[in-house]
């Protein structure tokens, strides 16, 4: 099961999943939320956002699972668990942290309370709720960009220290 062909497949799958997942996060952060904030009538804003976001949420769930499975397969193949003990591999820590945050948000917090909480806040004060949502997306996208840049450079031999 642990062989080079599967490793190459896992690596391709890892990147493909990340393109759809973080690409979607980038779209929501840089296009969708700013467009909703500036052009859509506040009364319709929440309904439109929820409609579009629920479609992406499904895609994000699938791609998060694929990223995790392919990522941990690669760690097993390269016997790289001890990388988590070295600061040199900070990009491994960051990749895993980004994955963990999204996994908890998508599979635990959102179904439990985040969705209703945002709905209530946005109904009360749409402006503040959408600004807070935008800030959270900017933080997560920034972490993801740093993780991707660090992972590409680090896994191709660049030494950061
Ligand atoms: C459970 C979470 C994850 C694990 C266990 C994981 C593990 C790995 C491993 C083992 C590699 C190959 C490293 C090497 O060849 O030395 C890798 C590559 C990579 N990962 Fe992850 N990863 C995870 C999540 C993520 C996330 C969330 C992102 C994006 C934000 C990401 C982006 C990348 C990129 C861009 C590469 C470099 C591929 C290349 O240049 O060929 N990974 N990952």
Task: Verify whether ligand 1 is closer than 6 Å to residue 95 (CB atom).
Answer: yes
Task: Verify whether ligand 1 is closer than 6 Å to residue 98 (CB atom).
Answer: yes
Predicted confidence pLDDT, tens digits, the chain (161 residues): 889 999 999 999 999 999 999 999 999 999 999 999 887 787 789 999 999 988 999 999 999 999 999 999 999 999 999 999 999 999 999 999 999 999 999 999 999 999 999 999 999 988 999 999 999 999 999 999 999 999 999 999 998 88
Residue-level length of the chain? 161
Q: Distance between terminal CA atoms of the chain?
A: 34
pLDDT value of residue 42 = 78
Pairs from 74-79 (Cβ < 8 Å, separation ≥ 24): 74/7, 74/10, 74/11, 74/14, 76/2, 77/2, 77/6, 77/7, 77/10, 78/7
Query: Measuring from atom 28 of ligand 1, which residue has the nearest CA?
Result: 95
Task: Verify whether ligand 1 is closer than 6 Å to residue 96 (CB atom).
Answer: yes
Query: Measuring from atom 29 of ligand 1, which residue has the nearest CA?
Result: 148
Task: Verify whether ligand 1 is closer than 6 Å to residue 72 (CB atom).
Answer: yes
d(C-alpha 103, C-alpha 141), whole Å: 15
Tell how far the Cα of 112 is from the centroid of ligand 1, in angstroms.
29
Task: Verify whether ligand 1 is closer than 6 Å to residue 30 (CB atom).
Answer: no
d(C-alpha 39, C-alpha 83), whole Å: 47
d(C-alpha 49, C-alpha 60), whole Å: 16
pLDDT value of residue 118 = 95
Task: Verify whether ligand 1 is closer than 6 Å to residue 59 (CB atom).
Answer: no
Write down the domain spans for the chain.
Answer: 4-155
């Amino acid at each position: 099961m642990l062989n080079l062909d599967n490793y190459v497949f896992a690596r391709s799958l890892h990147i493909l999943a990340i393109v759809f997942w973080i690409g979607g996060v980038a779209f929501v952060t840089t296009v969708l939320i700013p467009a909703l904030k500036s052009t859509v009538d506040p009364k319709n804003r929440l309904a439109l956002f929820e409609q579009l976001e629920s479609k992406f949420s499904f895609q994000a769930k699938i791609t998060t699972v694929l990223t995790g499975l392919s990522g941990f397969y690669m760690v097993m193949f390269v016997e790289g668990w001890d990388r988590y003990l070295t600061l040199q591999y900070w990009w491994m820590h960051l990749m895993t942290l980004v994955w963990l945050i999204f996994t908890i948000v998508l599979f635990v917090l959102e179904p439990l309370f985040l969705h209703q909480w945002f709905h209530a806040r946005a109904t009360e004060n749409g402006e503040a709720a959408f600004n807070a949502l935008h800030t959270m997306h900017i933080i997560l996208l920034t972490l993801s960009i740093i993780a991707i840049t660090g992972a590409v450079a680090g896994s191709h031999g660049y030494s950061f220290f």
